[in-house]
Chains A and B, each alone.
Chain A
Amino acid sequence: MNNRSKITITVVVVVTLFFIWIISGTQGKEVPFLSIEELVTGEYDQDRFRLGGNVQAGSIQIAEDDLLKVEFILKQGESIIKVHYYKTRPDLFADYCEVIVEGEYRNNEFYADNLMTKCASRYEGDLRDKNSYNLDEI
């Protein structure tokens, strides 16, 4: 066998191995991104999920004895779900805020261990939103 085909074969083998490695790498790390409705009504094998929605106004309850412990209602359209979170919260976490939570679903409640905020309301707000701007209607 000449050098050229040896090299070609090695490249193909290396690429194939890495390819399999990458494709199989997602196993056990897959987290379905569901809507609240899908989560509550569906049947799923695993117990880790990702949810998106907005924080229902006035629903944030921080535990008296532990500042890190929080419960809130996540709202997406008409569906709601209670979320527990026991970790440092991002600064932008607040009422109405758009959040993505990742965690486990048990007994119709969601236990998140990861919370990401995308609080766009203030900085990508609607121009007619009085809360964001100083407006004078003509």
Chain B
Amino acid sequence: MIHSMATLGTVSQSLALGFTVLSIILIAQFLRSGDTRLYVSGRRSAVIAAGLVILSTLVLLRELIQSNFNLEYVAHYTSIATPLLYKISALWAGQAGSLLFWVFIVAGYILIVIYQNRTVNKVMMPWVIMILMAIQFFFLYMTNFITNPFSPVEAGIIISDGNGLNPLLQNVTMAIHPPTLYLGYVGFAIPFTFAMAALITGDTSATWIKLIRRWTLFTWLALGIGILLGAWWAYQELGWGGYWAWDPVENASLMPWLTATAFIHSIIIQEKRDMLRVWNMILIIITFTLSIFGTFLTRSGIMSSVHSFTASSLGPLFLGFVFLILAGSFLLLYKRLPMLRTKNRIESFVSRESGFLFNNVIFIVMCFAVFWGTMFPVLTEAVRGTKITVGAPFFNQVNIPIGLSLLFLTGIGPVLAWRRTSKQVLIKQFSLPVLVSLVALGVFILRGLQGYVMISFVLAVFVTTTIVLEFARGIAARHRRFNESVVLAFWQMLRKNRHRYGGYIVHFGIVLMFVGFTGKAFNREIETAIRTGDKFHLSGYEFELQEIETEERPNHFAWIAHLKVVKLGVGPVTHLFPEKRIYFHRNPDQRKHQPHSELDIHTTLKQDIYSVFSGYDTKTKSASFKIMINPLVSWVWIGSYIFVLGTLIALWPNRRKK
């Protein structure tokens, strides 16, 4: 019998709450009295609180790995047969555990912030720690009193094996998707906290922005990767052939990402030209609120969604917290408004500043569109009494022109000059991209493209040309000034201007993603039920079901279809082997059987051939398939890699000077 450490977990969780409160009190006393001993003590208390949170998370992790089914949470989400990786990922698979995991990340971030600022930012730090502790308090309160992951199974029951993790979630991507998303969600607490500390201490210059820029970029990247992993998982596992369904929970993660994207653009203006101070404050407040709201949407069950957990009592608490943050921070902002006035104004329509301004406006518009569609059922129920939903068609229709305007700005914004752009410069910068785009437009029209698809492709060409030109100009400038070779000039240019060129690379990644998104317009699909030897056709391809093989594997039984794919008039392309699996097939109770379709995809740069073995009737030997031809999907993933690469370049630390 393995000794349970659950008590240690429970106690350290409660102690963490105690030290969190103690830390707030001590620092508040320091701020009143100015006695630095109180601050040192309060900071230590914060460190202890964070350490205890980490300890209790580790204890829960240990109980999950050791399969201590005396804990309700462990019994719910793992079984003895669950592989180790998924015992670990069970930590964030359920509500109670994922909230503890949330605080765990907060605690980790707090320790990093305290360490980074141990000798600097003496004025802001007490406030920073205090606000972070308040945020930690909220989540600790919930894990302690509302959904405690350490709560034991009801008395009178012994569970000899738990029910295990849903096989759909038994996938490496799915194991790392939630934690990356959380790194992002939680991370926005840091820039938010520094913004509030800057407001409180009255330091309204760009200092706080310098402090949090890399944090924000890192957080933004983590959230972006989390979103993309989710999309990739949906595409590879769920079998409906798409990567984005505008599901409320997906939208909840997209919204803060959109406002954060606006934020990382507009802080550049504040740094360079000391403008938009108030706007930046508003953006970070909204971003943080949306990330809490996202957690709320996932946890409250007010939205029906594939992701949502069963309805719980967390809803009102979360909503209250969201309102508290909004009311508190906007009140503070209002009080500090006079200090935030700056004398700089946008001077010209055709300037970098106005490019950024419109970029910001459109990002917010897009966030509003997503918000409107997501909340529409809630709003209509409140106003008209009937819940009215709007699905993917609404989001697609509304967001396409908004997205295309953003793509357009991606092309022009970065090459506009600060303050004003003269006519000569404008002509010099844009004559070639416009020319290339016009040629591309002609080619696309000849090939029969029209509407949004054509616009999207032309814009992709336009933006790519401007980016390539920017690189070429930069290299040429270095070549002229320092007489460096092209390769060296390229390397030095990247190294010395990582933000600018990293940004361009991110933009290029986004362009490729747009190309991939546009491919959706050409999707073709067929659903059919056939027998071995039958053939069917889809947009120039012939599919033949050659045989259905059976195989028994350790934890499931599988029917494996052999589909031969032939391009008509060309020849064989590939074989696809989609599977229909039954998990828990040895269990005599039919209800415990869990069917699962393991799909197979033939990927090329041009298109994916996507096959799902959706059903098999052993009596009639009839098998049903769903086959899709999805053009250009791989460009979404290629674009994602480039997006990550570009952000990493921008994030890479400056080499320390000795």
Contact = CB atoms under 8 A, between A and B. Distances in A.
Pairing of A with B: yes
A30 B390 contact: yes
Interface residues of B, number: 74
Contacts of A87: 527
A133 B76 CA distance: 9
A50 B357 CA distance: 40
Interface in A23-69: 23, 25-26, 29-34, 50, 52, 62, 64, 66-68
Interface string B617-643: 100101110100000000000000000
Contact of A22 (B157, B357, B398): B398
Given A68-B529, A102-B391, A21 B157 contact: no
B70 to A, nearest CB: 12
B96 to A, nearest CB: 12
A69 B622 CA distance: 12
Which residue, of A64, A88, A132, A134, has the highest number of chain B Cβ atoms within 10 A? Answer: A88
Contacts of B552: none
A22 B365 contact: yes
Nearest to B160: A134
A15 B361 CA distance: 7
A91 to B, nearest CB: 5
Interface string B596-618: 11000000000000001011110
A21 B614 contact: no
Main secondary structure of the interface of B (DSSP, over half): mixed
A33 B349 contact: no
Nearest to B368: A22
Contacts of B173: none
Nearest to B613: A88
Contact of A91 (B368, B597, B620): B597
Contact of A88 (B310, B345, B373, B527): B527
B402 interface: yes
A32 B385 CA distance: 11
Interface in B581-607: 589, 591-592, 594-597
B158 A124 contact: no
Interface residues of A, number: 55
Interface in B442-483: none
Which residue, of B305, B357, B373, B398, has the highest number of chain A Cβ atoms within 10 A? Answer: B398
B388 interface: yes
A137 interface: yes
Contacts of B617: 62, 67
Interface in B375-427: 376-377, 380, 386-391, 393-394, 397-398, 401-402
Nearest to A98: B304
Contact of B161 (A18, A23, A50, A133): A133
A100 interface: yes
Nearest to B528: A68
B390 A33 contact: no
Nearest to A52: B304
Interface string A81-123: 0000001110110111000101000000000000010101011
B166 A123 contact: yes
B314 interface: no
B346 interface: yes
Nearest to A50: B389
B156 interface: yes
A122 B77 CA distance: 10
Contact of A131 (B75, B527, B591, B596): B591
Contact of B157 (A11, A31, A52, A128): A128
A136 interface: yes
B390 A29 contact: yes
B369 interface: yes
A78 B626 CA distance: 35
B402 A91 contact: no
B207 to A, nearest CB: 27
Contacts of B349: 3, 6-7, 10
A21 B345 CA distance: 30
Contacts of B368: 19, 22
Contacts of B161: 133-134
Given A52-B304, A124-B309, A127-B72, A68 B390 contact: no
B76 A124 contact: yes
Given A7-B349, A14-B358, A137-B157, A68 B594 contact: no
Contacts of B72: 127
Contacts of A132: 163
B306 interface: yes
B372 interface: yes
A7 B357 contact: yes
Contact of A67 (B387, B388, B615): B615
B551 interface: no
B549 interface: no
Contacts of A102: 391
Contact of B376 (A15, A26, A62, A64): A26
A14 B361 contact: yes
B387 A135 contact: no
Given A127-B153, A134-B161, 10 more contacts: A4-B345, A14-B358, A22-B369, A34-B387, A67-B615, A91-B239, A91-B594, A120-B310, A125-B76, A136-B160
> Considering the complex of A and B, which 9 residue pairs feature the smallest CB-CB distances, nearest first?
A33-B387, A25-B398, A88-B614, A67-B624, A67-B529, A29-B394, A134-B161, A18-B365, A134-B160
13 contacts: A14-B361, A21-B401, A29-B390, A30-B380, A30-B390, A32-B386, A50-B389, A68-B614, A118-B304, A118-B308, A127-B75, A133-B159, A136-B157
